[in-house]
Amino acid sequence: MKLGDFKNWAIYWEQLRSALLDPKVDEVSLEASLRAAREKMPVPVLWLLGKTQAGKTSIISVLTGSEAAEVGNGFQPCTRGSRFYDFPAEGPVVRFLDTRGLGEVSYDPSDDIRYCESEAHLMVAVMKVSDINQAAVFEVLHRVREYHPEWPLLLVQTGLHELYPPGVGHIMSWPYDDDPLPESVPIELKRALLAQRSAAEALPGSAPVRWVAVDLTLPEDGFEPADYGLEALWQAIESLSSLGLQNLLSGDQEIHDLFARTAHQHIVSYSYTAAGLGALPVVDLVAVSAVQAKLLHSLAVLYGQQWDKHTITEFLGLVGAGMASGYVARAVGRAVTKVIPFLGQTVGAVWGASSSGATTYALGKASVYFFTQRKDGLNVDSETLRKIYADALESGTTILKDRLRGKSE
């Protein structure tokens, strides 16, 4: 680690200690910094098209892990024909744009096309498989793909169980990506699936079109699993976009039991905000530290832990000795400035967009282990804590690198 890196480290560490132990932040200045940060890290948009009751809200609910009622109450109007749902609301990492009422009223997609043009996004058309009249949806898709033939399209067929014969449940394992569809698929369901897929062949555009069939039900509906086809849905989304949404919203599968999904979403959200601050021409370390302090406080509340000076001092003492050991320069400075040249022109290799976001991510992951151990009445092992921090710094750097690469393309 170079001398300049140590200097940056010392300044940052003192700012973080001050933000945690003696939080005196100019809220007006902080809010101005946060607005600028959000402009640097715009939220990607998933544009959902479909008729009412097609299952769009259920898809958002299963992808985010939120209750359907919570999603339904969280929508905000944005254009004449659409509304959006930011997730998480307090610091979104993804925005779902929902076009309402196709087939019920005349709809001009021009406003929504303009809304999406400046953002990384994926079009998701949702069709209930038992509804054979999808002309309004295909009409809109045709117009959109004429404007933007390069936009990938995912078509999701929902409500499979509505065409099951009486007493029949889901087919295990999920067979709906096979070509041709196997004989185990009920004949009426197979005809409906193929009819919708055949209609999509006339769509213009050069970008890929992919189909996935899902059945997202409530537990009381009696179909197991209730999220039938979810894994296939995630695979389809990941194959068509570079957003890495599954990791952003669900977390790494290997640590899923240790790091709760809600905590992970908080951590990613705050990391993006910190990365936006780090991408500003002059890195505002006070604002970055304030964002990190807010994250740690929110996680303490989430885990029901008292976040007082004694606890804060203990956490800083346990994690601090391992944070300046060279991981910052090695994992952050080296990884990002080579990929995104403009960052090297605006900020230092250590305290740029990547490091601000990656250190926030690593602090969040380390704190979850800290809070989990305390909540369970167990000792916090300093070596484990520092390893979690170091590993998360590497992971956070990759997440931010991918996001910033997509932004610069």
The answer to whether residue 330 scores a pLDDT higher than 50 is: no
Three-class secondary structure of residue 127 per DSSP: strand
pLDDT digits (tens, 9 = 90+) for 220-234: 888 999 999 999 999
pLDDT (tens digit per residue) in 340-385: 333 333 334 334 556 778 888 889 889 989 998 998 889 998 888 8
Q: What mean pLDDT comes out for the span 92-114?
A: 81
Q: Are residues 293 and 332 in the same domain?
A: yes
DSSP 8-state class, residue 281: S
pLDDT by residue (tens digit) across 6-32? 555 666 677 777 778 776 666 776 677
Give the Cα separation of 273 and 257 in Å (integer).
26
Q: Which of 217, 242, 267 is the last residue of a domain?
A: 242
Q: Which of 205, 227, 242 is the last residue of a domain?
A: 242
The answer to whether residue 148 scores a pLDDT higher than 80 is: yes
* Band (238; pLDDT cuts 50, 70, 90): confident
Confidence class for position 400, pLDDT limits 50, 70, 90: confident
Q: What is the pLDDT of residue 159?
A: 96
140 and 263 together in one domain: no
Residue 407 pLDDT greater than 80, yes or no: no
Q: Which of 79-83, 137-141, 231-235 has the lowest mean pLDDT?
A: 79-83
89 or 401: which leads in pLDDT: 89
pTM comes to: 0.74
Predicted local distance difference test score (pLDDT) of residue 280: 58
Are 49 and 35 contained in the same domain? no
d(Cα 333, Cα 5) in Å, to the nearest integer?
Answer: 10
39-43, 119-123, 264-268, 390-394: range with lowest mean pLDDT: 39-43
Q: Do 281 and 390 sit in the same domain of this protein?
A: yes
Q: Helix, strand, or coil here: 94?
A: strand
User: Residue 276's pLDDT is what?
Assistant: 75
Q: In this predicted structure, what is the pLDDT of residue 351?
A: 45
Q: Of all residues in the chain, what percent carry a pLDDT higher than 90?
A: 26
DSSP conformation class of 219: G
For all residues of the chain together, what is the average pLDDT?
Answer: 79
Say if residue 80 is in the same domain as residue 16.
no
Q: Give yes or no: residues 30 and 81 share one domain.
A: no
Displacement of CA 69 from its chain's centroid (Å): 20
Domain with 217 in it: 45-242
Shared domain for 99 and 158, answered yes or no, is: yes
In terms of domains, do 25 and 153 share one?
no
Q: Which CATH number covers residue 136?
A: 3.40.50.300
Q: Does residue 209 share a domain with residue 64?
A: yes
What is the Cα–Cα distance from 279 to 395, expressed in whole angstroms?
19
Q: Pick from 92, 112, 137, 118: which is nearest to 47 by CA? A: 112
Q: pLDDT band at 94, cuts 50/70/90?
A: confident
Cα radius of gyration (the chain): 23
pLDDT score for 390: 84
Binned at pLDDT 50, 70 and 90, residue 175 comes out as very high
How much is the pLDDT for 252? Answer: 58
The pLDDT value recorded for residue 254 is 44
Residue 82: pLDDT band with limits 50, 70, 90: confident
